[in-house]
Amino acid sequence: MIAAEKVPMSTDKSNPSNNSFSLSLDTWAVIAALLLALAVKLDILKNVSW
Amino acid sequence: MASATSLPRVESDNRLLNTLSVVPGVLLLAAIGYAAKMLERSINTYAKVHHWIFPNIEYVLWAILIGLVISNTLAIPKIFQAGIATYEFWLKLGIVLLGARFILADVLKLGGISLALVVIEITLSLALMTFLGKLFKLKPKLISLLAIGSAVCGVSAIIAAKGAIDADDEDSSFAIAAILALGALSLFTFPAIAHSLHMNDTAYGLWAGLGVDNTAEATAAGALYSDAAGKVAVLAKTARNAMIGFVVLGYAIYWAGRGQAETVSNKAAFLWRKFPKFILGFLLISVLVSFHTFSKDQVASLGNLSKWAFLLTFAGVGLQTNFRRMSKQGLRPFIVGALGEVLIACLTLGLVVSANWIWGL
């Protein structure tokens, strides 16, 4: 086992693991963004204003 | 006695509770973000109607200020903590969606320039922070953490390096506190300096991305100047984040060679584990937009979704900054960090001015 694995995953902000689903925060962010992009593409989310 | 069949139900209940526990904090982030947006609009309108000369304070600054006031004057109830911590998620979601506002050619051009500047910045920052750390007789591993934090990407890099070089909890807390305190200061100093130098959006964005350490603060510092500068700051910071694995690997090998950290057996796996995956998402969205997968309106919607995600991030940056807690970490690492950051800010400013002169940013 390499040393990096000693870091408690809950404190690792760069790649924290979500215990429930074993995916990192980065991966969840990418999945959420792709789902939003899909919703926009399918016109489920339309004309999001700012 | 809990039977084996009841375990999945307990797990699923825990998942539900974990998910629900973030709701109050996320609502607080949203409320602060929305209040900031309303404040920007109403104060600007009021000033215009009454012919006041009032500086245009953007929602970014209002969100950070409201968060700062709350976190430094009130004790935030525990029920909000889990949700406030999600600001990192909103930041990364915002960055991935921001890919919609970059055509691949822009990413390659600006990203290429950023990457070249990042390599110079990282080399000089590591050397500078190591020199200052030794000058102030800080502990060797604290020097490594401060050097990594200021050269690459702030808190994430320090946490990633902590395990790899077997550093103490205390050292990483020192380094994180110094980086966060200086990041908070840069929110106010970077835009002010850039305005006095009349920097253009691209040059300033590059400077904020190279000079501000933590990704959330770099994004905010860019957005505080202008929307266009915010975009460039995120791109430059993302190029810097991409180097995290290489720098941490270098330090892990260095400390393993001295028998003070475990040996890295599989370097490729190590690099992949440390690589920030949201960068791939950012590139993917940019590729999709470049190949006209989305209509013009849809691209605008994705860009606006990115802004909403950043709004929650900026509220979180303010709420997570507690000066009293930071001051408890001691003065020496802060002095080394501050000295190093000022010099790195000057150095990166010089790099950006040179790049502007050579490439005409």
In the predicted model, is pLDDT for residue A1 greater than 80? no
ipTM above 0.85, yes or no: no
pLDDT at A7: 33
Name the CA dihedral angle for B226, B89, B239, A49, rounded to a multiple of 10 degrees: -40
Of all residues in chain B, the one with the smallest CA distance to A23 is B277
Whole-number Å distance between alpha carbons of B105 and B162: 36
pLDDT at A21: 54
Whole-number Å distance between alpha carbons of B141 and B135: 14
* pLDDT tens digits along B46-62: 878 887 776 666 788 88
Average pLDDT, chain B: 85
Query: CB–CB of A33 and B297 under 8 A?
Result: no
Half-sphere exposure in the Cβ direction for B347 (13 Å, CA) = 24
Nearest of B184, B179, B191, B221 to residue B337 by alpha carbon: B179
**Under a CB-based contact definition with an 8 Å cutoff, are residues A17 and A28 in contact?**
no
Whole-number Å distance between alpha carbons of B91 and B216: 7
Whole-number Å distance between alpha carbons of B33 and B344: 31
* Set of chain A residues whose Cβ sits within 8 Å of the Cβ of B274: 4, 14-15
Cβ contacts of B63 within 8 Å, gap of 6 or more? B32, B33, B36, B311, B314, B315, B317, B318
* pLDDT tens digits along B245-302: 888 888 888 888 888 777 788 888 888 888 888 889 998 998 999 899 999 999 999 9
- Best probe of the A interface among B18, B59, B88, B92, by most A CBs < 10 A, is B92
Six-digit token string for B113: 């320039």
CA angle B316, B300, A33 (to 5 degrees): 50
In the predicted model, is pLDDT for residue B240 greater than 50? yes
Instruction: Report the residue from A2, A5, A30 with minimal CB separation from B277.
Output: A30
**pTM summary value:** 0.76
Q: CA of A10, closest CA in chain B: separation in Å?
A: 11
Six-digit token string for B96: 């991935």
